[in-house]
Amino acid sequence: MLTLLSAMYLVTRTASAQAEPIRVLVTGAAGQIAYSLLYSIAKGDVFGKDQPIILVLLDISPMLPVLDGVVMELQDCALPLLREVIPTDKVEVGFKDLDAAILVGSMPRKEGMERKDLLKANVAIFKTQGEALEKYAKKTVKVLVVGNPANTNCLIASKSAPSIPKENFSCLTRLDHNRARSQVAMRVGVPSDSVKNVIIWGNHSSTQYPDVHHAIVNNHGKEMSAFDAVNDESWLKGDFITTVQQRGAAVIKARKLSSAMSAAKAICDHMRDIWFGTPDGEWVSMGIYSTGNSYGVPDDLMYSFPVMIKNKTWKVVDGLVINDFSRGKMDSTAAELVDERDTALTFLGA
């Protein structure tokens, strides 16, 4: 009898000690990136192994039947942390009381579509979602924009949610960061976790600048600069950069579909680092609000910088020496972002 009472007490105590569920939104939830992402979130890979989750899945009305299938699969995974799954096509349901929002859905570029038309369509989407964040979400919500053009979509969402701090918004360049890290690791012949402190500067586009001037490689027990470890400056300043810049297009050409598995992994990495922080002495890349930066990047952009994260707050890594080669590439990607922003802002007031 005592054993039974003790067991009942332990169960009650464990249940009461467990954290309150957090509400996590994924948009474009019937799409292929979300399909690769949702399981990892629901089983605790992102927000912690003791953090219950309420997953909110938002997509457009025609995708609701597909979303029902995704919900069934999540239920069938029998994941103990997953307390509820809410499929919806309504922003007032999707954005209510959110702790985290992962905005994957966007208008993809279609054949024959002009860039300005793509921007116009996405401004409308991310203005609506920003306004929904403003109206329904917690002011502490952490927002990650994945849908392309991610940097400018993130800027539009943040401008449409003025009472949520700009620092709470970020866009995904972690996929590019992971690609750069992996390319260096393969070239040297070491595991990817032996490469740290690569940087992605600027836009998540083909103008991004993958920079390894400050990267460190643990080359079979000996720490050295990436330039020394690779020992091929022409590759690091040439094919390495273009490979990372054009990797998304290469995946599409091979798969006839865009990156999903690797994008989902990068989303998990990005959000986990926001939640739990970056390791001491290491930084990661993410698109953040540029105003006040020390690297001469124009204000009022979402631009990818190296950041360290502690207590769910990022800080740009300052004081890195920027040579002329890097300066030119950083300025080039900034110019593209200024052009995107200025075009998008003409549609924001429309």
Residue with the two structure tokens 């103008």: 207
The dihedrals phi and psi of 140, each to the nearest 5 degrees, come to -90, 5
Any binding-site annotation on 297?
no
Any binding-site annotation on 146?
yes
Distance separating alpha carbons of residues 271 and 268, to the nearest angstrom? 5
What is the largest distance, in Å, between two alpha-carbon atoms of the chain?
77
Question: Which of 204, 213, 214, 270 does the annotation list as catalytic?
Answer: 204
Any binding-site annotation on 179?
yes
Q: Residues 99, 100, 102, CA angle at the centre, nearest 5°?
A: 160
Q: Please report how the helices 174-188 and 247-255 are oriented relative to each other, as an axis angle in degrees rounded to 10.
A: 90
Residue 303 bridge partners (DSSP): 288
Residue pair 138/167 in contact by the 8 Å Cβ criterion: no
Residue pair 167/314 in contact by the 8 Å Cβ criterion: yes
Q: Which of 22, 13, 65, 63 is nearest to 42 (CA)?
A: 22
Any binding-site annotation on 122?
yes
Any binding-site annotation on 148?
yes
Any binding-site annotation on 181?
no
Residue 16 burial (C-beta neighbours within 10 Å; 0-12, 13-18, 19+): exposed
Residue 249 burial (C-beta neighbours within 10 Å; 0-12, 13-18, 19+): exposed
Q: Is 204 an annotated catalytic residue? A: yes
Any binding-site annotation on 48?
no
Distance separating alpha carbons of residues 322 and 202, to the nearest angstrom? 14
Q: Which amino acid is at 58?
A: L
Task: Please provide the DSSP assignment of 88-113 as one string.
Answer: ES-HHHHTTT-SEEEE---PPPPTT-
Q: Which of 144, 92, 129 is nearest to 273 (CA)?
A: 144
Active site residues: 204
Bind-site residues: 59, 109, 115, 122, 146-148, 179
Bind-site residues for substrate: 109, 115, 148, 179
Bind-site residues for NAD(+): 59, 122, 146-148
